[in-house]
Structure formats: structure tokens, C-alpha cells
Amino acid sequence: MMDRNDIAILADEIFEEFVAHPPENPQEYSIRMTSGTTSGSPFLTVWHTKNAAEWRPDSMHRLILAFGPLAMRTSNMLYFRNNPDNEGALMLPLDVAALEPSAERLLKDFAADSMYGFPSFVTRISEHMSAGECASVDILGFSGEAISKTLRDIFTSRFPHARQVITFASAETGVISTFPCDYLSPGHYHPRKGIDIEVSEPDADGVGYFLISKDLLYGKRMEGYKTGDMARMVPEACPCGEKVTFEVLGRAGYDFVKVAGAILRREEFDRAASECAALFDDYRAEAEAVIINGKLKGKIRLTIYRAKGAASKDEISREFSSRVYLTPSQTLSQLVEKELFLPLIVTVSTESLPQAGKSMKLSLHK
């Protein structure tokens, strides 16, 4: 079984080989860097265009690309360029972080029929689009963040004619799933060709650690890489004829969750909680994306346990919010001021919080 450190070593070996012996067709390769935001140090990965997400170019003539890292935007632009089936199509690699009111005029001008990106980014873009423009979107492709039912419902309501295509991928593995068939439920995927999947240490419900195996460049192989996700194999064959279906249930250990464009890290929550040790002894945090007056916002509920102490919920909310960083430079308090997150909701438990097995201190509200 491989973990992220093994993948980093493998990626380094491949990258050194790649630099020493550059490929003859550079247009078929792109280089990305894992951010190192969620765990460990960054490393560079090389991807062949055959690793690109599977698209249906016949209905994607005006595509908005909505990813954060520039390398993700450039590699998807390269895949778009190389696709022989989308002649005449245009791609707008939108800089979502810099969206401003004038974007409404420009988005109307571009008249997108499809979008592909982070769900939180697509939500932000939709806030600058009229109902008519949203109704003209046929395909919404998502990758990179978990999508709750709330978000799916929001997209269904805002983009009534759009098919939601969710691709399962990670920075270390690339795209894992195929273009979904018509029979898959949310959170269910078919593995793409060349990817072997396995669920290890399954519990009574068949839920265990998700493992990926696949061939990489220069004869290297990713073997049983533990992605950090919990998954289960679906025993029934899919009506589409595909024999292998898997369901992804969330992150193992909940080291981080992504909500409303921010990455909430358990380590950071632990650090902030340790600074609030005078206020409470233990905590569980649950986050979700909600829509308030048409705007996407993050919402965090903090359940705390304290053996003693009398600080009010407001005081705990204020103290914790001013200490916990949700981005490298902004605390929850600052994001609340910017109206990107709702004020922290604090609930006090009179009993110590459950510690069982895979219990999670930080989780995504389902």
C-alpha cells in the first residue's frame, strides 16, 4: 500500500526522468504541482493528455473553465486544444478569484453552454449570470471538491437544463472516473480504463479505505495508493453494462474539508482549539455550503464539550472564529465580515464527545 510520501518519491523519480529525457511530443504533456495545502510538501507531477477528464464536446462549444490553480487551467486548456472533436469551440479560463460586477456583461457576451471546474467557483460564476443565461448551460462538469446534496439542488435550480457531470479525481492520481453513465447516483462512479480500484479494510457495510493502482510514466506504477477517501464497492452491475461501480463516502480521518471555496484543515482547528483550552476541552466541527439570498456561504457548527467553565456561546464563537484560519491569511471572523461565511454556531454538549474508531473532528455536513 502506498501513501502520499510514497507517491511524492515516485513523482520525483518520474520528474527527474522527464527532465533528463524530455518527450518528443511536448503538446501531449503538462506539469502540475500539488499544492501541499492539505498535507505534506508540494511536488511536481507530469500528466499525459490521455489522463484528461472525458468530455462530450458535441455539446460544449463555449466552455468556461473554473479552477483555481493556474496549472489546472493551463492543462485543461491544453486538453481542450488537443481534442479533435471540438473544432470551433471556445474556452474562457475564468479567473474566478477576480470576478467583479462587470463580469455580468462579459459572461452575457461569452454565452457559455458549459462549465467545468470547482463547484464553489461555478456557484460564484452563476451569481453573475441571468436566469436566461443559466438556462442556456447544458453541461456542468465538476471536479476537485465534494458536492453535497444541497449544492446539487442549487445547481439543479439555477441551471435547470444542465446535466451535472461529476468527475472523481485527485491531484496525486489524476482523473479516476469515467464520464458518468445515465444510471449512476450521486457519489457513484465507474473507474476509467487503466485504473484499478480496491477498498481495503472494509467494515460491516463494506466501507473502507479507497486504493488506486495505475501505470505511470517511464514504467513506474502507482500500486494501492491510499487516496484518503472512504469508499465501498457497489456489488450490482450497472444497467449501462459496466461491471465495476464504486461509491465515495468522504474523506478518511477528515483531515480537511472544502467548503465555499475554503479549505478547512483539522490540524488548524486543533490548533485554534488548543488556544481556546480555557473555554472548552473538546470539539467536533461540521461544515456545509448554504445559499443565503442567492449567495453561496460557508456555515460551520462547532459542538464543544467542557467539564467546567461558563463562557457564553457568543464568547466561544468570537474567540474561536478570530483564531482559526480558513485560508492562509484569513480567519473565520474575517470571512464572516466579508460575508463569505456565516457566524460560527456553537452548541455545548453536556457529555463528552464520541471517540469511536473513525469518528471525525471535522466533517462535511451531508
Site residues for other proteins per CB under 8 A: 15, 19, 22-23, 26-27, 29, 31, 33, 35, 42, 44, 69-71, 73-74, 77-78, 80-81, 86-95, 98, 100, 102-103, 105-106, 108-111
Cβ-based nearer residue to other proteins, 27 or 157: 27
To other proteins, the closest distance from the beta carbon of 44 in angstroms equals 5
Q: Are 62 and 94 in contact (CB under 8 A)?
A: no
To other proteins, the closest distance from the beta carbon of 181 in angstroms equals 28
Distance between CA atoms of 66 and 61, rounded to whole angstroms? 16
Distance between CA atoms of 308 and 149, rounded to whole angstroms? 38
To other proteins, the closest distance from the beta carbon of 97 in angstroms equals 9
To other proteins, the closest distance from the beta carbon of 39 in angstroms equals 16
Cβ-based nearer residue to other proteins, 13 or 281: 13
Cβ-based nearer residue to other proteins, 100 or 182: 100
The CA-atom distances, in angstroms, between 210 and each of 10, 98, 248, 249, 265 are 19, 36, 8, 10, 20
Distance between CA atoms of 206 and 254, rounded to whole angstroms? 19
To other proteins, the closest distance from the beta carbon of 27 in angstroms equals 5
DSSP characters for 307-355?
SS----HHHHHHHHHHH-BSSSS-BHHHHHHTTSBPPPEEEEESSPPP-
Cβ-based nearer residue to other proteins, 31 or 181: 31
| Ranges of H-type helices in 102-251 | 103-110, 119-126, 131-135, 149-158
Q: What single DSSP character describes residue 206?
A: S
Q: Are 335 and 262 in contact (CB under 8 A)?
A: yes
> Three-state SS for 226?
strand
To other proteins, the closest distance from the beta carbon of 125 in angstroms equals 12
Angle between helix 119-126 and helix 149-158 axes, rounded to 10 deg: 30
Cβ-based nearer residue to other proteins, 88 or 219: 88
Radius of gyration of the chain (CA): 21
Q: How many residues does the chain have?
A: 366
Cβ-based nearer residue to other proteins, 87 or 201: 87
Q: Are 344 and 317 in contact (CB under 8 A)?
A: yes
**Which among 252, 276, 251 has a CA at the least distance from the CA of 344?**
276
To other proteins, the closest distance from the beta carbon of 136 in angstroms equals 13
**Which among 258, 256, 260, 257 has a CA at the least distance from the CA of 339?**
260
Cβ-based nearer residue to other proteins, 100 or 205: 100
To other proteins, the closest distance from the beta carbon of 65 in angstroms equals 9
Q: What single DSSP character describes residue 49?
A: G
Q: What is the rounded (10 degree) CA torsion for 357, 201, 206, 188?
A: 100
Cβ-based nearer residue to other proteins, 111 or 131: 111
Cβ-based nearer residue to other proteins, 40 or 186: 40
The set of residues, in sequence order, having a beta carbon less than 8 Å from that of 149 and lying 6+ positions away, is 186, 366
To other proteins, the closest distance from the beta carbon of 19 in angstroms equals 6
To other proteins, the closest distance from the beta carbon of 364 in angstroms equals 26
Cβ-based nearer residue to other proteins, 71 or 290: 71
